[in-house]
């Protein structure tokens, strides 16, 4: 029986976890070596495991692991698992943990492939580290993440921005004239889109937005995503995000 298992090492980002039975859980990860995968974790909800394993599987937590792959079982398992990034702020700051919950759910809903995507994985892994360590501009982080995630999902803005442009959501292009259809960002939103495209994550505080502007731009981004990927509408944590920011 033991010979049917293959081991492999990898890094992963927790997207979602679900209770399974009395003491186990199913954890969905975005991994560097296997793309999106599901893992069965046994005994994690027992009194013995509560203080150790359970804490690892929070939304957007980064892991290092040794996995077990078997042709006899549909889900992978862990031989060993530990933190991949020691988080200093996300678990203890409601703003960061709210953004982490949103980011994890967006990835859970939108990234379905079981093939590895190194560029996407590296972007997400580095984003976790940036969210945890960012000194200023945290309130803009989810907007920066959505704008730049679109690069890896296939609908990143396809041309250069010019002053007073509109943004045609259907075509994924900045345009000088208002499109004839309603799927467009007005010039103020198009300028913000370009600001987040060009902004280094460490400089997010330089994009000065109030609560209303932040909410309006998030709605514009969700419309942009929704045109290309309908699954964005299933993201429930948007409401929590809007309450905090």
The overall average pLDDT reported for the chain is 92
Question: Looking at residue 75, what is its pLDDT?
Answer: 84
Strands of 184-185's sheet in order across: 173-175, 166-168, 184-185
CATH fold group of domain 2-83: OB fold (Dihydrolipoamide Acetyltransferase, E2P) (2.40.50)
- What confidence tens digit (pLDDT) does each residue in 5-49 have? 889 999 999 999 998 888 889 999 999 999 999 999 987 765 554
Q: Hey, what are 142's tokens?
A: 């989810």
Q: How far apart are CA 185 and CA 224, in angstroms?
A: 9
Predicted confidence (pLDDT) per residue in 81-124, tens digit: 999 999 999 999 999 999 999 999 999 999 998 899 999 999 99
For the cut 50, the answer to whether the pLDDT of residue 2 exceeds it is: no
Domain segments of the chain: what residues?
A: 2-83, 134-244
pTM attached to this predicted model: 0.92
Q: Kindly state the average pLDDT of the residues 131-146.
A: 97
């Amino acid at each position: 029986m033991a010979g049917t298992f293959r081991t492999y090492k990898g890094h992963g980002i927790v997207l979602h976890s679900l209770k399974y039975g009395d003491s186990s859980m199913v954890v969905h990860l975005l991994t560097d070596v296997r793309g999106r995968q599901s893992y069965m974790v046994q005994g994690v909800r027992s009194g013995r495991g509560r203080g150790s394993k359970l804490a690892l599987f929070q939304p957007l937590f980064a892991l290092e692991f040794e996995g077990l792959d078997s042709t006899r079982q549909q889900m992978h398992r862990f031989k060993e698992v530990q933190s991949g990034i020691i988080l200093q702020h996300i678990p203890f700051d409601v703003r960061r943990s709210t953004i982490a919950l949103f980011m994890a759910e967006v990835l859970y809903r939108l990234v379905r492939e079981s093939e590895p995507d190194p560029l996407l994985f590296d972007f997400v892994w580095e984003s976790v580290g940036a969210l945890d360590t960012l000194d200023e501009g945290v309130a803009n982080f989810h907007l920066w993440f959505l704008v730049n995630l679109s690069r890896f999902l296939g609908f990143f803005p396809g041309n250069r921005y010019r002053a007073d442009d509109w943004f045609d959501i259907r075509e994924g292009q900045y345009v000088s004239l208002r499109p004839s259809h309603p799927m467009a960002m007005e010039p103020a939103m198009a300028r913000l889109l370009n600001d987040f495209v060009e902004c280094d994550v460490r400089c997010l505080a330089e994009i000065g937005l109030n609560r209303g502007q932040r909410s309006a731009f998030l709605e514009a981004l969700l419309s942009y995503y929704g045109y290309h990927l309908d699954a964005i509408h299933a993201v429930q944590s948007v409401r929590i995000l809007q309450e905090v920011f």
